[in-house]
Amino acid sequence: MERFVDAAPDVRLWTESLGPADAPPLLLIMGAQASGLGWPDELVDLLTARHHVIRYDHRDTGRSTWSFAERPYRITDLAQDAIAVLDGLGVARAHIVGMSLGGMLTQLLVADHPDRLLSATLIGTHALSTVPYTRADGTRVPPEELPGIDARLLELWARPVEELDLEAELDRRVAHWRLLNGDRLPFDAAYFRELERRVVRHTGHHSVNDAHARADPSGMDRTERLARTDVPTLVVSAPAEPVAPPPHDRHLAQAVRGARVVEIPGMGHALPREVHGPLAAAILEHTEPIGHTRRPLNGNTG
């Protein structure tokens, strides 16, 4: 079921709910400049076996309001948008899965709104913490000295945004996915081209913008709150990750109290077919024992 919710004055967010309405809710939060359709249907279908799955378009993506040029916002506002989605759909608490920027937004929710989460799953993201990473030998590494983003991606992201015809724009997006996919799993260009073609049809145009890259990132450090959280947290380890390469996954698990790590073999910073089964299995194993809450926000049941 598709529905729009109001997140702020003159800001509406597109949402889609799939799976049994009485199943435990699971909210998917995508990365920067990515539509909710960046969560592949095949992966969503696997998650609906046990969950009422919700995906949505961030501001300035998909069918949600594109407004950054007129009304700039902060990255932390995007975290509040996730709460607005839950509120708009009448969900009191949900399992939340965040990828990339979505993983950072999920950390903000763990820190600031723990009462709204049943669990958190973090994929391909950096810790919002200044706690040093502790190696197996006991040496400590400041977060800023951990491995950086793949240089090929940085070069691609540094290029000016250009208005291209549809097929050229799809070429650009596929080239981007090729780098994000990493070098351990085969890259299916046709699969990602069709995914992006669906995003274009969903959005109604193929324009691009860099709103999330320009949004104010200040005020995101949550070192102390993450270190004392009680939200059950899973960190997905992707050995071919080019955006948050190892050991960022282990650092994240050290920064978030009680977090555990599950590796998805061959995974990078993309969601090709090969990872759907293992990733869904890891998420479902994490969420299954935590319980079921689908009560409306007013506290009534039924």
What pLDDT is recorded for position 162? 85
Q: What is the pLDDT of residues 150-209, one digit of tens each?
A: 999 999 999 888 889 999 999 999 999 999 999 999 999 999 999 999 999 999 999 988
Q: What is the pLDDT of residues 216-257, one digit of tens each?
A: 999 999 999 999 999 999 999 999 999 999 999 999 999 999
Q: Is a pLDDT exceeding 50 seen at residue 295? A: no
DSSP of 110-134: HHH-GGGEEEEEEES---S--PPEE
Cα–Cα distance, 98 to 127 (Å, whole number): 13
Structure tokens at 88: 């708009």
Q: Is a pLDDT exceeding 50 seen at residue 71? A: yes
Q: What is the pLDDT of residues 131-146, one digit of tens each?
A: 999 999 999 999 999 9
Q: Is a pLDDT exceeding 90 seen at residue 46? A: yes
Its pTM stands at 0.95
What are the chain's domains? 2-290 (3.40.50.1820)
Core vs surface per residue 102-121: b (16+ CB within 10 A) or e: bbbbbbbbbbebeebbbbbb
pLDDT averaged over every residue in the chain: 95
